[in-house]
Structure 1
């Protein structure tokens, strides 16, 4: 009996093709990636220590370096090194290609939501870090494109009598710290940055998603969307979510992750039973005994 690997949710070859095709258009729709980079740089500005050896695993290279160049942290953080292009399209699918324990800082912006094995990808990153090295990552969260998901499903059901998944299943931001802990990171932190982007119509949103390389690469065969389905979805979007000026909102959630490779110098929880003060005393409340059943 052979052990099965992680489920194949995304097609790495299609993902690589989407990223390659988006290169020339990316500057037209780089707002999510710039925001993710700015979030990562803010974390570095608050961490007053040097990070000489840096690897950038982000979906689009150069965005993090540009944000870092104008920040107070620039003098403490080395120039991001090159990484295998294949890792951008399929995080965790193949070895990372970075020697274990060799890097002070790894940044991965807007890539990990395409990982078929997210815990495995995070474990690879943690192993590549030196002890007390830092990982900063962002991925799209569960509320992303909730409006688009709803109207595409309804439109395809109406036109075909059945619907296929068209928007990726994104991770829940509340699971972020747990994912880092499972991968062996110490001091894990996760938070969610929510933003709403307004478009003239559905087709403007789709153009931006293509420019970012964020269109559907779910594994398996999918029937292409017809003009009729897209027209119905556009009408539903405007009817259900349209604003007084005729524009439509699109929700995005950026889950920010931060975790450290374990090191003896890091703070650790006290052993169980070692507390010197009762919880009731600390809270200033009266402790009541449990009644008998």
Structure 2
């Protein structure tokens, strides 16, 4: 009788704990979204809204769904109390297993949505935030976004070098009536590091050499060489290789022809690149020349996640 009472007491404590955890996980989920949207709505400039949305929105929403998945696990673990009380040992474990299954299923579906579907939805809003005409804070006039060719006159050599390696993308807005200009800096399509010599994000990996391959007994090493396209700085470092290098890695796919080369009517080019891992990335360019230059430099493995 004492053992049975002990089982019921344990189950009661478990049920109460699960109920409190459900409330806690749902509260955290809702609170994280509310805090994000409060921060987003308090940003006054389009650039600031674009920055926080592109960097944090999917992460916050994904985190909120993880909290909901945990709440589902807890919810399942307070169902069918009468059956569990009659036979605690097998049914308690079965119920816990079912909770893990339902929670994992929900989390996986949320992962698929925020990996493949939602990025396409948010990209439209990001484009609107980026390309909505800016307003001159002094006169209230609408400003014009300059083309890639026109904006070079307003960028210094370092900024142009950053754009040439696609690590940074600058938008130059101008008030045609007063000549007032406003420059906004956005993350580029390809990864580049900040050069410790000139300070621009133009330091890119240009060469890798495996010095010693890794085995099942010890790590290997790789020599990496970085070069700054602006100041010419060359930086070398050795990186540990903790896995065996595969010899059958396929080469990066490249564009072998440009069917739009002679089409002067094309204003915007959108490219979607799919990897063999099932994910994809979308890039937008203002002209064909910029697209061709990007594809010549493109390497999927060196892109930011």
TM-score strictly above 0.5: no
Give the TM interval when normalised to the shorter protein: under 0.3
Bigger relative CO (Cα 8 Å, ≥ 6 apart): 1
Tell me which protein shows more helix as a share of its residues.
Answer: 2
Point out the structure with max Rg over C-alpha: 2
TM-score normalised according to structure 1 size: 0.21
